[in-house]
Chains A and B, each alone.
Chain A
Amino acid sequence: MSRFYASVSPLMAAALLVPFVTGTALAQARDPAYAAARSGGQVGEMPTGYLGIAGASTPDLKRLVDDINIKRKAVYAERAQAQHATVEEYAFTTGCKLVAQTQAGEKYQTPDGSWQVRGGGAPVRDSRCPA
Chain B
Amino acid sequence: MKRNRLTRRPAVAKASRMDQRETQHGREKGPGGRLMPALQEVWHKRTARLGVSVLSLGMMAALSGCITVSAPDKPIVIELNINIKQEVIYRLAADAGKTIDSNKDIF
Contact = CB atoms under 8 A, between A and B. Distances in A.
B6 interface: no
A115 B101 CA distance: 25
A71 interface: yes
A71 B106 contact: yes
A71 B102 CA distance: 13
Contact of B103 (A48, A75, A83): A75
Interface residues of B, number: 22
Interface in A64-92: 68, 71-72, 75-76, 79, 82-83, 85, 88-90, 92
Given A29-B105, A75-B106, A85-B88, 18 more contacts: A29-B104, A30-B104, A31-B105, A75-B99, A75-B103, A79-B95, A83-B91, A85-B91, A88-B84, A89-B92, A93-B88, A93-B89, A96-B93, A96-B96, A97-B100, A111-B79, A130-B89, A130-B93
Interface of A: 27-31, 48, 68, 71-72, 75-76, 79, 82-83, 85, 88-90, 92-94, 96-98, 101, 111, 126, 128-130
